């Protein structure tokens, strides 16, 4: 069994080398080269694609482009941020979650029971989460493509809710501009969520730290916590810490199930 595993690992390593040497490799050619079945090669390519080491297409595979590698890394850090945020949710908590995809993603990992989530993110209706979570939609006007619920109706509902915690995503977060967004219609709801929650956590990967977008939702002084990743610029993090923000850093390998 150990010898077979070593052989499989060697074959996959050689497949990777072949992909790097040639723009496109074909399944039938690889099967002939390594004297294995087409199914075995397809299984190898699927494994290597799952590891973000190549990209499959019908009948073959090609190298991962540098921009694909960067985007895969960003998505990995966003999953780590979501997983870390989920560990901060306790039994009986009530939460605000805004229209951020990253903030909503944390619901996939929440294990605590008797949790109530109030959100203006319409995408929650297509998510899987444990049956210990209750979802309350703010209502309001639906804005595509984010499926954000905004407008006076949503604002009136949010301003009367005071949950224990808020998990808020953003377009940018900096010591000068604070938490910013590209969507003007979401500013007031973000402001209310931050104002009414007992604790506020901003979720922002390294590409958003030190950046600013069109509209400020909150100055840094109103943000208690930032959850970001190890690639965030240290100088900006130091400035945020000096402004009173507690920084939570996630790193590769923090969670083994992604």
Q: Which two three-digit tokens encode residue 172?
A: 């940018």
Q: What is the pLDDT of residues 169-192, one digit of tens each?
A: 999 999 999 999 999 999 999 999
pTM (two decimals): 0.76
| pLDDT (0 to 100) of residue 69 | 61
Higher pLDDT, 6 or 106: 106
| pLDDT (0 to 100) of residue 68 | 63
Closest CA to 172 of 210, 142, 136: 210
Q: Residue 258: pLDDT band by 50, 70, 90 thresholds?
A: very low
Q: What is the pLDDT of residues 22-55, one digit of tens each?
A: 878 999 999 999 999 999 999 999 989 888 788 8
Closest CA to 172 of 214, 116, 221, 134: 214
Lowest mean pLDDT among 71-75, 115-119, 185-189, 227-231: 71-75
| pLDDT above 60: residue 1 | no
The mean per-residue pLDDT over the stretch 107-123 comes to 97
d(C-alpha 199, C-alpha 95), whole Å: 9
Q: Residue 257: pLDDT band by 50, 70, 90 thresholds?
A: very low
d(C-alpha 231, C-alpha 217), whole Å: 24
Higher pLDDT, 152 or 7: 152
Distances (CA, A) of 146 to 121, 150, 154, 193, 197: 8, 11, 15, 18, 23
Mean pLDDT of the chain: 92
Percent of residues, the chain, with pLDDT higher than 70: 96
Q: Residue 4: pLDDT band by 50, 70, 90 thresholds?
A: confident
Q: Which two three-digit tokens encode residue 137?
A: 């939609």
Higher pLDDT, 65 or 126: 126
């Amino acid at each position: 069994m150990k010898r077979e595993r070593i052989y499989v690992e060697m074959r996959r390593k050689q497949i990777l080398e072949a992909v790097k040497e040639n723009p496109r490799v074909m399944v039938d050619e690889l099967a002939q080269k390594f004297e294995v079945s087409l199914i075995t090669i397809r299984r190898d390519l699927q494994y290597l694609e799952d590891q973000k080491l190549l990209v499959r297409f019908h009948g073959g595979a090609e190298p991962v482009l540098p921009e694909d590698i960067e985007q895969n890394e960003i998505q990995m850090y966003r999953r780590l941020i979501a997983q870390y945020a989920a560990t901060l949710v306790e039994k009986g908590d009530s939460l605000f979650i805004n229209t951020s995809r990253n903030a909503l993603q944390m619901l996939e990992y929440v294990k605590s029971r008797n949790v109530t989530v109030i959100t203006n993110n319409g995408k929650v209706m297509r998510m899987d989460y444990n049956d210990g979570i209750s979802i309350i939609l703010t209502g309001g006007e639906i804005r595509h493509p984010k499926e954000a619920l905004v407008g006076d109706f949503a604002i009136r509902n949010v301003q009367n809710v005071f949950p224990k915690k808020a998990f808020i995503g953003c377009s940018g977060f900096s010591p000068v501009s604070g938490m910013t967004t590209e969507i003007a219609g979401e500013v007031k709801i973000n402001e209310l969520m931050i104002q009414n929650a007992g604790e506020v956590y901003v979720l922002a990967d390294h590409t958003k730290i030190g950046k600013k977008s069109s509209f400020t939702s909150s100055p840094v002084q109103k943000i208690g916590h930032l959850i970001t990743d190890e690639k965030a610029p240290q100088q900006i993090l130091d400035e945020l810490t000096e402004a009173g923000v507690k920084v939570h850093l996630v790193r590769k390998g923090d969670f083994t199930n992604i």
